[in-house]
Structure 1
Amino acid sequence: MPVANGHVAVVDLGYGDAGKGTVVDALCAAGPVHAVLRFNGGAQAAHNVITPGGRHHTFAQFGSGTLAGVATHLTRFVVVDPLALAAEAAALGNPFHLLTVDGDALLATPWHRAANQLRERRRGGDRHGSCGMGIGQTMEYALSHADAPRVADVHSPRTLRRRLAAVRDRLTEAYGELDVPPLEDVISAFQAFGATASIVDSSFTGRLLREGPCVFEGAQGVLLDEWWGWHPYTTWSTTTFANVASLCADFTRLGVVRTSTTRHGAGPLVTEAPLDLPEPHNGTGRWQGAFRVGHFDAVAHRYAVEVAGGVDALAVTHLDAPDRCPQLQLCTAYDVAGARLDRIVPGPFRDLEHQTRTTALLAEARPAEWHRPADWAGTIGDLLGAPVVLESSGPSRADKRFTDRARSTAGCSGR
């Protein structure tokens, strides 16, 4: 890989949609990459990849290196949805030979999904934002129930039946009748997944990492992290490098940002503005809400770098946007009730009361300092304190350029 001699972890330093998928695809095409490891989230991911030949796929559970022929491993931190996975596999030509799944990963079921959607509807105008895929519901259920279904259960018919029936009964009791397929149909579909996918134990991850350089592909963004994001407008997922660090002792931390700052649905977006930057692969979603656009928010992205534990290098995407939108600028400080703020102070880890207060503060914040640079990539690198090793000006890997700094970054290791 141009970026490192060893493993690379790709993390979005915003609210998602910065281009993680296209960055992973470019890394895999440049090679050699042994495998792509997914380390958080699940079927709610939407990583768009377009090949130089024009083939487009929105990756959810398969790694974004699949079109480059690179294997995918779903680690124990991924919430696996066999029904969504089967649909994605069919769209890709069923590349199950490229897929391995950790048996300890949680299983998302149709009851989790239905309960998730019902809960979000009941919030009405106070929605937190959701992809409606049941990922958070699956995580929440597992925290309260030691018998939450896991991938390895698909190979044990008795255990699978008992655990799926428990999910059905408990969530039906909590939420009322849920519109889901019959239990027998779900069991059959999950067993079909077990007969098709290669399910491995957790020692497989270490063996995979020893066999060659790998890319860790994150989902969502640091500003949506379950503990560091703006509560309650967050994901039930660790979006920083923390999960990677628990799996791999030595890796390069690659942060991804785009030249505008965007987010789906509710929650703070301090630099939001009516910019003319259409998104062919993003729009208003039934559960996520509207796709929102704003100027580059250096204050929020610096916070993301800090709570993620720092980055070794950056990939900057959408570098064609400033030419398409002359109004686009960089914001380097906020005004909060007449006071200047250029740093969002992190609170103690897992302190959601602090995060709620930060959310309230950001709701009152307004951009105070603006700048339109001549060199967008270089300025962003300076603002975030890391070298830009990949520049992207379009959706295809042909639109990517690895800089000279990529060579000098080779061999960097995680902190």
Structure 2
Amino acid sequence: MQQAILTVDLGFGDAGKGSIVDYLARRHDAHTVVRYNGGAQAGHRVVTPGAAPQEHVFAQFGSGALAGAATHLSRFMLLDPLAMLVEAQHLCELGAPDPFAHTTIDAGALVITPFQRAANRLKELARGLRQAQSSRAGRHGSCGMGIGETQADFLSFGERVLFAGDLTKPAVLREKLEFLRAVNLAKAPAFPSDLAGSTLIAAEWEMLAAADWADWLLPAYADFTRRAQVVPSAHLHTILQQPGAVIFEGAQGVLLDEWRGFHPHTTWSTTTLANADRLLGEAGYGGRVVRLGITRAYATRHGAGPLVSEDAGLTAALPDAANGFGAWQRDFRVGWLDLVMLRYALDVARPLDALAVTCLDRLIGLPVLRVCDHYCGGGALIQRLTPAPGGRDLDYQAELTRLLMRCQPSLIPVDGAQALLSLVRADLGIPISLVSSGPTAADKQGMGEMW
């Protein structure tokens, strides 16, 4: 029997996707995990069950690797070869087999270069500086990994940017790297002389301006190509023809989607299931397809942007060791479970077959448990946000952002975790097929016949 399980985060990311994918890979003995969006910014934490647990935060390899599943990076992934080499090293230190031996990479995947990452970071630093000096809009929120600049370069220059398939062509590789360095040098913002020497700014400018970049970058990419398996797009069709289960693993969350998220606090990536659906359609996949939405039992987000149900006391009560303050993503913020956001996420990610609710254990011991049922904003009661009718309207999304920044949450009490689950199930009209009360696969409980 063939089965494809498509996973999607219904929040702003950090819903526990890695933990869920690891569980699904073990439960269904999945042969492959397919990454269908995002890039090296993923932080999917997996802790293995047993007396001697191992822990790895997956970024580019599929989160089923410690469960024995192979990885395929689709053409919708943004590849960072240098970061992937570091990640592979940690997996090997855990005693896992060489992950590159069980990984294939679509030749059409975009490659993030150090130049695009540096330009990304300099732009975000400049936004923060403008915010500190005036009332102008500040940081958009960034992972600092070069995702946006890589996508922007592709939209501007098409085939002149770097793809995974170019890494094995030395002359093409060097020409494209020289081009991208020049492009990103031109895009990088200037800073006042009294700030240009700061540690963060100077480090990124040094990356862009260093004349000896080829001396270290080309050998590093050569090391990567000796280990990596770059394949044509049709290779995924072969994977999907195999019997057994395939897990499609997403990155970030629906509320950060480039077109459906709350502009400008979004990612340059499609975070709905659209890419996964397209890959299955291109392969003529005829197996069973299950579409699983994932949410924490409370709301979270990194850095700037709306989080209507945010609660400073809850943020202090629920610190997350895997999601602290970061130089680029900034603060990790926590709020009560937000049904308005979940309704919106469901509308833009439909259809879904089931939900997985994670981090139920984090609610134990809270003196009170609440859920945000609606917002109050501009004298109106808001229970639903209407998605943009055309689907690609950034002005509409920006107006939603401005609305959300003016809203206040209306909170209702719930009597424990089971009551919360019942409320979510009834409100969204979708069965909850999986709940998680801890980091390992042993902490997961399947509900109903699906699992």
Q: Which runs of 5+ in 1 are unaligned?
A: 408-415
Q: CA deviation at 1:5?
A: 5.9
Asked if 1:37 corresponds to 2:49, the answer is no
* 1:411 corresponding residue in structure 2: none
Asked if 1:234 corresponds to 2:273, the answer is no
Contact 2:368 / 2:413 at 8 angstroms: preserved in 1?
Answer: no
* 1:95 corresponding residue in structure 2: 99
Q: CA deviation at 1:50?
A: 0.5
Asked if 1:136 corresponds to 2:148, the answer is yes
Per-residue CA deviation, residues 172-231 of structure 1 (Å, 9 max, x unaligned), is: 123278322612321221122111111100001111111132000000000000000000
Query: How many pairs does the alignment contain?
Result: 404
Letter paired with 2:306: P
Distance 2:119 2:365 in 1: 42
Distance 1:118 1:44 in 2: 17
Letter paired with 1:327: V
Structure 2 residue matching 1:327: 3-state secondary structure: coil
Q: CA deviation at 1:116?
A: 0.5
* 2:193 corresponding residue in structure 1: none
* 2:242 corresponding residue in structure 1: 211
Structure 2 residue matching 1:58: 3-state secondary structure: strand
* Equivalent of 1:334 in 361, 375, 387: 375
Contact 1:334 / 1:367 at 8 angstroms: preserved in 2?
Answer: yes
Q: CA deviation at 1:405?
A: 4.1
TM-score, normalising length: structure 2? 0.87
Q: CA deviation at 1:351?
A: 0.1
Asked if 1:200 corresponds to 2:231, the answer is yes
* Equivalent of 1:388 in 428, 432, 441: 432
Per-residue CA deviation, residues 107-135 of structure 1 (Å, 9 max, x unaligned), is: 00000111110000000130001111111
* Equivalent of 1:252 in 266, 281, 290: 290
Structure 2 residue matching 1:248: 3-state secondary structure: helix
Shift in alpha-carbon separation, 1:245–1:205, aligned structure 2, 3 A: same
> Which deviates more, 391-400 or 326-335?
326-335
Distance 1:151 1:343 in 2: 41
Letter paired with 2:248: F
TM-score, normalising length: structure 1? 0.94
Q: CA deviation at 1:337?
A: 1.8
Contact 2:2 / 2:242 at 8 angstroms: preserved in 1?
Answer: no
Per-residue CA deviation, residues 264-297 of structure 1 (Å, 9 max, x unaligned), is: 0000000000211121211111000100000000
Q: CA deviation at 1:378?
A: 2.8
Please tell me the root mean square deviation across aligned C-alpha atoms, in Å: 1.5
Asked if 1:400 corresponds to 2:412, the answer is no
Contact 1:49 / 1:396 at 8 angstroms: preserved in 2?
Answer: yes
Contact 2:31 / 2:68 at 8 angstroms: preserved in 1?
Answer: no
Structure 1 residue matching 2:23: 3-state secondary structure: helix
Letter paired with 2:400: T
> Which deviates more, 235-244 or 248-257?
248-257
Q: How does 1:34-183 map to 2 (within 5 A)?
A: 34-52=31-49, 53-93=52-92, 94-124=98-128, 125=131, 126-146=138-158, 147-175=160-188, 178-180=205-207, 182-183=213-214
Contact 1:336 / 1:365 at 8 angstroms: preserved in 2?
Answer: yes
Distance 1:304 1:104 in 2: 29
* 1:412 corresponding residue in structure 2: none
* 2:318 corresponding residue in structure 1: 277
- Kindly name which structure, 1 or 2, has the bigger radius of gyration based on alpha carbons: 2
Contact 1:390 / 1:406 at 8 angstroms: preserved in 2?
Answer: no
Letter paired with 1:292: R
Letter paired with 1:316: V
* 1:363 corresponding residue in structure 2: 405
Structure 2 residue matching 1:220: 3-state secondary structure: coil
Contact 2:369 / 2:414 at 8 angstroms: preserved in 1?
Answer: yes
Q: Which runs of 5+ in 2 are unaligned?
A: 93-97, 132-137, 191-203, 282-287
